[in-house]
Amino acid sequence: MAKKQLSIAIAISIYIGSVLLGGLVAGSGAIAREITVVSTAGPMPIVMGALIPIFERATGNKVTIKFESVPQIYFLLKEGADLDLVIADEDVIQELVKRGDIADNSKIMLSRVDIAVRAGAPKPDIGTADALKAALTAAKSVAYSQDASGRHFVSAISRLKLANVLGPKSILVPGVGATLAAGEAEIGVQQFAELLAIPGIDIVGPLPGDMQKTIVYVAGVPVEAHGVEAAKALVKFLTSAAAVTVLKQKGMDPS
């Protein structure tokens, strides 16, 4: 815990230094303001929960963040909700750009998809696509979510021609790690950053070869945003060197 706090303190110091140098706040007369961010869930509550306080302390801006499903984010934008920034995987943001809801966007961080089991359970061989197929076929139950990692896993299942095999033993849950830890599933598939935070499980490793997908998270500024400058300052922070330490601690890769 002490090491983690020290690393975050260092990140804060680096970031505040960059602000004082004029890297992220546009001039000494900048006025702090409140901005509203909506994000998909996945690893974002963990990651943004660590990063936003650093940004707030450095800039004086106040960030309110909500975590919603993709359909709900589409609905909020359609209804003209007061949003200054949207964070979601690349496919979602691209769709919002096509719809005319997002005016500006930037990649902010990356995530991978991993396999995990309950702590102490035998770790299956997943080193190749064939080995992964054998492990999934042999498993009594497989848990995955409906977020970006789950959507990718469904496509991987299709490629492996396992849809019919896994259908009856698939468990769709938001918290794959907790399901594994409780002994309610034999194998789990989810983003590494989400699994990393859960006690009682062992991470086997990433999906093999071209079965893997790097999930790219993107921050988009809505067309109707009011706090554009503060929102862009947050995006700049999320892509800055100051955020790298925290991102890596939380199992994410910087953009």
The pair of structure tokens assigned to 92 is 């979602």
> Could you give the dihedral angle defined by the CA atoms of residues 2, 6, 11 and 16, in that order, rounded to the nearest 10 degrees?
120
Per cent of the chain over pLDDT 90 is 85
DSSP-assigned letter for residue 121: S
**What's the average model confidence in pLDDT over 199-207?**
98
Cα 247 to Cα 49, 79, 83, 117, 123: the distances in Å are 11, 33, 24, 24, 27
Residue 163 has pLDDT above 60, yes or no: yes
pLDDT tens by residue, 104-158: 999 999 999 999 999 999 999 999 999 999 999 999 999 999 999 999 999 999 9
Q: Which of 42, 39, 52 lies closest to 11 in space, CA to CA?
A: 52
At 29 the pLDDT is 40
pLDDT tens by residue, 47-103: 999 999 999 999 999 999 999 999 999 999 999 999 999 999 999 999 999 999 999
Q: Which CATH superfamily is domain 2-109+216-254 in?
A: Periplasmic binding protein-like II (3.40.190.10)
Residue 203 has pLDDT above 80, yes or no: yes
At 32 the pLDDT is 80
At 1 the pLDDT is 47
Q: Which CATH superfamily is domain 113-211 in?
A: Periplasmic binding protein-like II (3.40.190.10)
Domain ranges of the chain: 2-109+216-254, 113-211
Q: How far apart are CA 230 and CA 172, in angstroms?
A: 37
The pair of structure tokens assigned to 202 is 């062992």
Per cent of the chain over pLDDT 70 is 88
